[in-house]
């Protein structure tokens, strides 16, 4: 039996993790948590009967306690609740399906409690990778990538030696605005940005894909997961999302992982690694798939990628500024308070105004996030 806890169980990754649990009877869901979707988490709790359920707001937790009173379930709330779920004694692995830097504290708590991490929550690694990776090593826990590109890289690394890697080829779909120029982007609406060509995902990451900030976050995520220099991570646009990423070795050999775009594959691989299991779904038909195209990304228009390379090369607290400014800007864009291109301007201005703190601890990272938020609120 594999005992699994999930933070963010009502979202895109969370619900797909539960689909894997439905199909694999040796998964026991022991703890679940969400932000505010009380109806769905109650349904999930009734179906999977975890011992611990968390919801962010204490008022919502009170009403969840009443509606789940017939079951033997403890309901927790807030950051304390998230940490309780992350550390839950009976769990073997924590799926971090929560969105944003709010995942930092629970992820660290889980690692300290000796849990493996199936990591979807990239914002945590982008901002605190320098703390998380050494801590995981010290605690002997595994950080198993759920992000499709990082799962592909992880799969392409199996059986090989770290020192033999020449570079990582991180693929990108290019998002809904691939091939468009700045003039076009000036007037795009929220609904256009939310139409991803290949993947159905949460709202925040869908906007990040449209700006290509997502690919920037993924460059930094790959740096931490695989211990490679950002200059050895090359982004390649692969519009059909069939090649999920590749690794080039020093002898010139390139190993890629391919598949139809389905997040259940990387989620399942992380949960059962190194075992491969049957997964229902479409297969690539190589007779019908008559082309796989590849392109160079347009980093002048989609500045998100450039800013990420700059943030990680400055290091210290700068990736936190890049990420926090983006989180705030995207939330404003989702509320239709700013235009699409303002997202880049906000990130740029926040990075320009920041003096880097080297090797920030968790308090400094969260303090930096707060300062970035306040700065944006005062300016926009
Ligand atoms: P989503 O918006 O669909 O779901 C987010 C989940 O987090 C929800 O369950 C929500 O209730 C929960 N949450 C939000 N605030 C919370 C809080 N304060 N306390 C507890 N729970 C809270 O997001 P998603 O698309 O599933 O993405 C989750 C993470 O996975 C992100 O970091 C994203 O970048 C990453 N990721 C997602 C995909 C994808 O296909 N969706 C692919 C790769 C990586
Ligand atoms: Mg990805």
pLDDT tens sequence across 63-103? 999 999 999 999 999 999 999 999 999 999 999 999 999 99
Taking the alpha carbons of 26, 107, 268, 326 in that order, is the dihedral positive or negative?
positive
41: Cα within 13 Å, side-chain hemisphere: 31
What is the four-CA torsion angle of 127, 215, 245, 288, rounded to 10 degrees? Answer: 150
CA separation, residue 219 to residues 172, 215, 226, 231, 297 (Å): 11, 6, 11, 10, 13
Tokens encoding 9: 């169980």
Give yes or no for residue 10 CB within 6 A of ligand 1. Answer: yes
254-258/243-249 β-pairing: antiparallel
What was the pLDDT predicted at 199? 87
- Residues 242, 11: Cα–Cα separation, whole Å: 24
Is this model's pTM higher than 0.85 or not? yes
Verify cis geometry, omega within 30 degrees of 0, for the bond prior to 274.
yes
Ligand 1 pocket: which of 95, 110, 120 to mutate (most atoms within 8 A of CB): 120
97 lines ligand 1 (CB under 6 A): yes
> How close is the Cα of 35 to the center of ligand 2, in Å?
22
Neighbours of 127 (CB within 10 A): 30
The model's confidence at residue 290, banded by pLDDT at 50, 70 and 90, is confident
Q: Give the pLDDT confidence score for residue 229 in this predicted structure.
A: 98
Residue 102 Cα: closest atom of ligand 1: 18
Nearest ligand to the C-alpha of residue 149?
2
pLDDT of residue 150: 98
- Tokens at 248, concatenated: 């080039």
333 three-class SS? helix
Give the number of the ligand closest to the Cα of residue 170: 2
Atom 16 (ligand 1) nearest CA: 35
For ligand 1, say whether the CB of 316 is within 6 Å of any of its atoms: no
- Could you tell which of 5, 6, 7, 8 is best to mutate to test the pocket of ligand 1, judged by most ligand atoms within 8 Å of the CB? 8
Q: Does ligand 1 lie within 6 Å of residue 144's CB atom?
A: no
With beta carbons less than 8 A apart as the criterion, state whether 255 and 337 touch.
Answer: no
Q: Is 76 in the pocket of ligand 1 (CB under 6 A)?
A: no
| pLDDT one-digit tens code per residue, 177-223 | 999 999 999 999 999 999 988 889 999 999 999 999 999 999 999 99
In terms of C-beta distances under 8 Å and separation of at least 24 residues, what long-range contacts does 62-65 make, across chains too? 63/38, 64/38
Q: How many CB atoms lie within 10 A of CB 140?
A: 9
């Amino acid at each position: 039996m594999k005992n699994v806890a999930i933070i963010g169980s009502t979202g895109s990754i969370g619900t797909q993790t539960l689909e894997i649990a439905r199909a694999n009877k040796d998964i026991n869901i022991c703890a679940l948590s969400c932000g505010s979707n009380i109806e769905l988490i109650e349904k999930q709790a009734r179906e999977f009967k975890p011992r611990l359920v968390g919801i962010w707001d204490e008022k919502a937790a009170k009403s969840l306690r009443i509606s789940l009173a017939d079951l033997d379930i403890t309901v927790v709330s807030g950051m304390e609740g998230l940490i309780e779920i992350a550390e839950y004694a009976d769990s073997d692995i924590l799926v971090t399906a929560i969105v944003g830097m709010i995942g930092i504290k629970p992820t660290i708590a889980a690692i300290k409690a000796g849990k493996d991490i199936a990591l979807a929550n990239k914002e945590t690694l982008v901002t605190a990778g320098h703390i998380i990776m050494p801590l995981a090593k010290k605690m002997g826990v595994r950080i198993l990538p759920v992000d499709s590109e990082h799962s592909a890289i992880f799969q392409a690394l199996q059986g090989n030696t770290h020192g033999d890697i020449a570079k990582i080829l991180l693929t990108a779909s290019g998002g809904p605005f691939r091939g468009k120029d700045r003039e076009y982007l000036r007037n795009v609406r929220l609904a256009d940005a939310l139409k991803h060509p290949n993947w159905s995902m949460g709202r925040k990451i869908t906007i990040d894909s449209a700006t290509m900030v997502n690919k920037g976050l993924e460059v930094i995520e790959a740096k931490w997961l695989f211990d490679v220099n950002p200059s050895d991570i090359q982004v390649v646009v692969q519009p059909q999302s069939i090649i999920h990423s590749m690794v080039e070795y020093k002898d010139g050999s390139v190993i890629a992982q391919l598949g139809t775009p389905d997040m259940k594959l990387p989620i399942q691989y992380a949960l059962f690694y190194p075992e491969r299991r049957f997964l229902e779904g479409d297969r690539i038909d190589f007779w019908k798939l008559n082309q796989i195209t590849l392109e160079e990304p347009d980093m002048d228009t989609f500045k998100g990628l450039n800013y990420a390379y700059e943030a990680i090369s400055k290091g210290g607290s700068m990736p936190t500024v890049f990420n926090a400014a983006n989180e705030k800007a995207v939330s404003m864009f989702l509320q239709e308070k700013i235009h699409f291109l303002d997202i880049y301007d906000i990130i740029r201005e926040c990075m320009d105004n920041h003096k880097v703190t080297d090797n920030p601890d968790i308090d400094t990272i969260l303090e930096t996030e707060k300062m970035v938020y306040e700065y944006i609120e005062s300016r926009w």
